[in-house]
Chain A
């Protein structure tokens, strides 16, 4: 079972920051938060993960609240190619269970 809740859909203007929220209020102290995205018909793509500190890589930034009950994935300058379903996942016994994610639509 997915341990996270995400909005069903969001949209964002091209060139603006996309901020995708995720709630994981039952997360335990040693559990990581992972983010994936899936562009239409393709396999999911790993984006980033974190434990309690904020993380940044070439794709995105991950902000985790101090109580770890929620996080936000930030795409700093969204492009049309970022239109996808974004999944926030807290693994269970090392296994990833995908919920329905957030459909992000980036419009011109």
Chain B
């Protein structure tokens, strides 16, 4: 299997711009997770979906962040407007039936 695929791998943009991160989960997985990794807070769960439905978005930092999963093979995490403090590595992960989560290689986001 191809694994969890995230794009882009790196994103550099200016403060105030809209940023869209993309994720393709492993085929057959019905759970999808978005995480953010920073030096200060480590790996934090932002939101997760089950069968394309958002289950828990309590980790989303503020209204500037939104996530969608229009179908079983695609999800987006959007930040609008972006701020320098959003700079981090964002990971997507997927799983099924209580198996360990499989992570993508992440998107390194830098907001100038």
Q: Do A and B bind each other?
A: no
B-contacting residues of A (Cβ < 8 Å)?
none
